[in-house]
Amino acid sequence: MVRADLNLLVVLDVLLREQSVARAAKRLKLSPSAMSRALARLRKATGDPLLVQAGRLLVPSPRALELRDRVAKLVEDANDVLRPSARLDPSKLARTFTLRTSEGFVENFGPALIARVRREAPGVQLRFLAKADKQSSLLRDGTVDLETGVIDEETWPELLSQALFEDRLVGAVRAGHPLARGAVTAEGYAACEHVGVSRRWLERGPIDDALRLLGLERRLATVVGGFATALVLARRSDLLATVPRRHSGVLLDGMHTFELPFALPRMLVSMLWHPRLDADAAHRWLRECVRGAIDSAPGRDDSDQAARVRG
């Protein structure tokens, strides 16, 4: 089957509007002879004369009159497809976005994010999905629109990302805990009973490696899957939880926190999305809303401001 030359649709549209080979040629910046050849190809393709000489004018055949509106619409639609999308008006947006986040994100940044979305786009609904693991397949298959987290070797390289903020681990204990009475040493930290946090249920991690360099070891009384759960346990016991300060935010209210008495690298928290959504105007607006909600949330200091990196 011979594939039709779709460029002829543009020629036909102009010919049917102008009803003149000369005027159509001028409009399309072609020579009259080139336009005449194009009209001959159109006649062959459609099996119809399309435009017939009547005195000094060309008049459309019944088939041409039948095609005129359809061809004009096809050319208009094609031009719409090939031009940049119009400026987004969030107030007219009707869409549901799914965000996959770790514990603490919704509690700390959700209120500001939801308030901005409701103010700018009342027709948009946000769905928050718990982040039980590091797998990003839900971004690839379209189930999730946006994800937040720390980029590491498990993060799929095809994903785009943008840094949101830097975070650091701090110790957190209940008010009145023995560690709340003075400066915390590495020995005092290690001597406490700890609640560990690991989505993969690992009992050893960077904290243990740092303590081992000091000849110390901590004892884990329990291991949980998220920082929010660790803080619930620490708040109601003598357990010590080690959590990201900024990401835990309001969950630390009423608790005593302290800087760790040993060095650990900071964490860079980013948002991630699939490349197919990168140019989508609505998704770009969502990403700006997330950045704005985090920038306006309480608890930020100068060291939290991360450079905008990939994406």
| Residue 271 backbone phi and psi in degrees, to 5 | -105, 145
Q: Model confidence over 237-292: pLDDT tens digits?
A: 999 999 999 989 889 999 999 999 999 999 999 999 999 999 899 999 999 999 99
Encode burial over 249-283: b for 16+ CB neighbours within 10 A, e otherwise.
Answer: bebbeebbebebbeeeeebbbbbbbbeebeeeebb
Q: Model confidence over 131-171: pLDDT tens digits?
A: 877 677 889 888 999 999 888 766 777 889 999 999 999 99
- Closest among 194, 179, 266, 269 to 231, alpha carbons compared: 194
Q: Looking at the chain, which runs of residues are DSSP E strands?
A: 51-54, 57-60, 95-101, 124-130, 146-150, 160-167, 169-173, 193-197, 219-224, 240-244, 256-259, 267-273
Question: Where on the phi/psi map is residue 35: left (φ > 0), alpha (ψ -120 to 50), or beta?
Answer: alpha
Q: Using only C-alpha atoms, what is the Rg of the chain?
A: 32
pLDDT of residue 79: 80
What DSSP character marks residue 121?
-
Q: Does the pTM exceed 0.75? A: no
The answer to whether the 93-165+269-302 and 169-259 domains have the same CATH topology is: yes
The residue with greater pLDDT, 18 or 84, is: 18
Mean pLDDT of the chain: 88
Q: Kindly state which CATH superfamily the domain 169-259 is placed in.
A: Periplasmic binding protein-like II (3.40.190.10)
| CATH code of the domain occupying 7-82 | 1.10.10.10
The residue with greater pLDDT, 96 or 299, is: 96
Sign of CA dihedral 159, 163, 165, 166: positive
Q: Model confidence over 182-219: pLDDT tens digits?
A: 899 999 999 999 999 987 767 688 999 999 999 999 99
CA distance 250 to 294: 13
Q: Is the pLDDT reported for residue 77 higher than 70?
A: yes
pLDDT of residue 302: 38
Q: Which residues pair with 272 in a beta bridge?
A: 147, 161
Q: Domain-by-domain residue ranges, the chain?
A: 7-82, 93-165+269-302, 169-259
pLDDT of residue 151: 83
Query: In sequence order, what are the residues at sequence separation of 6 or more whose Cβ sits closer than 8 angstroms to the Cβ of residue 265?
Result: 206
Q: What is the mean pLDDT of residues 93-105?
A: 91
pLDDT of residue 178: 94
Q: What is the mean pLDDT of residues 70-81?
A: 85
Q: Kindly state which CATH superfamily the domain 93-165+269-302 is placed in.
A: Periplasmic binding protein-like II (3.40.190.10)
